[in-house]
Amino acid sequence: MKQVKFIIIAFLLTQLSFSQKKDDNIGTEVVNVVKPYTPTISDAFKVKETPTLDDDDTSKKENIQYTIFSFPVASTFAPSKGKAANVDKSAQEKIYSNYLTLGAGNFGTINAELFVTENISNTDYFGGMLRHSSSQGGIKDVVLDDKFFNTALDLTYGSRTKAMSWNADLGYQNQVYNWYGIYPGLLSDATIETIDEQQTYHTLYLGGRLGLDNILKESTFKFTRFWDAFGSAENRFVAKPSLEFDFVEQKIRTDFVLDYISGSFDQNLDKTASIKYGFTNVGFQPSIKIHKDDLTINAGVGLFYSAAQEAGESKFFVYPQVTGSYKIVGDLMILYAGLEGTLQQNSYHDFVQDNFFVSPTLAVAPTDQKFDIYAGLKGKLASSISYNIRGSYKNEDGKALFRSNIYNLSNANTDGYTYSNSFDVVYDKVKTVSFFGELKADFSKNVSFGINGTFSSYSTNDQPEAWNLPAIKLASTIDVNITPKWYAGTSLFFVGERKDVFRQATVTLPFPPDENITLKSFFDLNAHVGFKYSERLTFFLKGNNLANQDYQRWLNYPVQGLQILGGASYKFDF
């Protein structure tokens, strides 16, 4: 075998040497390609991505060690200590629990208020307020006494916990007014001298509120005893429990109403009979609140039954009670609308608070507010400017209207209210179309402004006019914090024309015709300025009817002219 291998190697070397020999003329040769070369997979081989290295020198790793050579460097840099940036922050005003206000002015005016509150424990508290306002009168060209006197004391005791909150209230109010509105030229001086024009009202009430953290959200009750110097007396009890719970992701609310009233007057205007009245109104008002995205709807119904104890008729009433709102552009524009009705219980006490000069000879009955349909738009024109516009149509049956009492020369009743200087209450079907607009602006944290107006049109069924209801009412206010110590503000009220009637009866027939009287529109400009002497003590100066307008709020009842009142308010803690 060794010989065979040697022969083959020698042969190859011989052929190699011949191939490297130079030949100048290699001649020509014809090569015929029978088939082109077509590579196949078997002709190729794959190179491994990671070759295997068997070299020991290549696979051997060298251990390397690092060391750091450090030496100190002298430096004069000294970093300063950080400080918080200064922030302008107004001093927080201390809140006091109690205050006392005293003021006095022309017309013998005195105003006083005392408010105290005290925490008995972590949950219980007590509070009280004593208020007094009076004037010695002195209205120009008034021949009868026109002074008034109003004093009230309110007390409350309550408790607040996470599961329950409640409070009990007790109060008393004493009011003295005079029927000084005599028709010009009606009475002789001798007759005027015999008139006792004073009336005194007394109010005693006991009330309370209970709120629980369950379906019984809030319940209120109030008992009121009201009486006057002419033997009139009225008792009223009102209870309003409310239930609220969630059902199928909707909020269900049910309001119950129990309104009982009973009263009497010793005599009617002619002194021929006494007057008694009494009603028990029971109401059930279920509703459901639906909220979806920007739409909120409160859909409900009011069911009332009015039982008459004295004069009157017992009736059952059904009222729609539906309200809704839709956010058209977030809080910038909100559309709202409603269709609501209710049974309104009238009372002698409420009539007196609206008009101090009513006679103690009234017919008291509830008002059937069949519906009040309204729609409006509210929102913001800017972050500090809000608006509200609204139009409504209201239909009321048995709406109470104040109308001047008749003067009867043959009347045997000569009490101080029988000289056409007091007001009766008459009831009528009244439909009211009204438009309301309001704009409020906070120009800065120191300046705020507001203006609103109501424009109304009335239609009556039995009465020739909607007595003493104005067609226009406007109001505007502005308050300014001049400096941290000084503040000021103004308010302007405008009331449009009203209608009333002067009636008289004589011993001879025919009676003189009724004289319809238009009470002129009026405006009342008021202003105030104050100085905060300290956190506790503040001085103030107020001016009412600054334009010294000689207007009549009620027929033959002019008001006081320019009124100036100055005083101080003091805050304190026990």
> Could you read off the pLDDT of 185-206 as tens digits, one per residue?
889 999 999 999 999 999 999 9
pLDDT at 213 over 70: yes
Rounded to 5 degrees, φ, ψ at 17 are -65, -35
- Mean pLDDT over 352-380 rounds to 96
Mean pLDDT of the chain: 87
Q: Is 100 exposed, middle or buried (0-12, 13-18, 19+ CB in 10 A)?
A: middle
- Mean pLDDT over 399-418 rounds to 90
**Does pTM surpass 0.85?**
no
Provide the pLDDT for residue 17: 41
Provide the pLDDT for residue 84: 57
Q: Is 97 exposed, middle or buried (0-12, 13-18, 19+ CB in 10 A)?
A: middle
pLDDT-derived band at 410, boundaries 50, 70, 90: confident
Phi-psi region for residue 414, left (φ > 0), alpha (ψ -120 to 50) or beta? alpha
pLDDT at 76 over 80: no
C-alpha–C-alpha distance, residues 473 and 496, integer Å: 6
pLDDT-derived band at 512, boundaries 50, 70, 90: confident
Provide the pLDDT for residue 62: 52
Provide the pLDDT for residue 510: 63
Contact 256, 241 (CB under 8 A): yes
Query: Taking the CA atoms of the chain, what radius of gyration do you get in angstroms?
Result: 47
pLDDT at 142 over 80: yes
State percent of the chain over pLDDT 90. Answer: 71
pLDDT at 14 over 70: no
Rounded to 5 degrees, φ, ψ at 46 are -95, 130
3-state helix, strand, coil in the chain (%, to 5): 5, 55, 35
pLDDT at 49 over 60: no
Pick 149 or 66 by higher pLDDT. Answer: 149
Provide the pLDDT for residue 91: 61
Provide the pLDDT for residue 43: 45
C-alpha–C-alpha distance, residues 155 and 499, integer Å: 41
Start-to-end Cα distance in the chain: 131
pLDDT at 66 over 60: no
Contact 420, 502 (CB under 8 A): yes
- Mean pLDDT over 92-114 rounds to 92
Look at the block and give the residue holding tokens 């003590």. Answer: 537
Q: Which two tokens stand for residue 82?
A: 């950080």
pLDDT-derived band at 574, boundaries 50, 70, 90: confident
Nearest to 202 by CA among 224, 181, 222: 224
Give the CA angle between residues 489, 494, 497 to the nearest 5°: 170
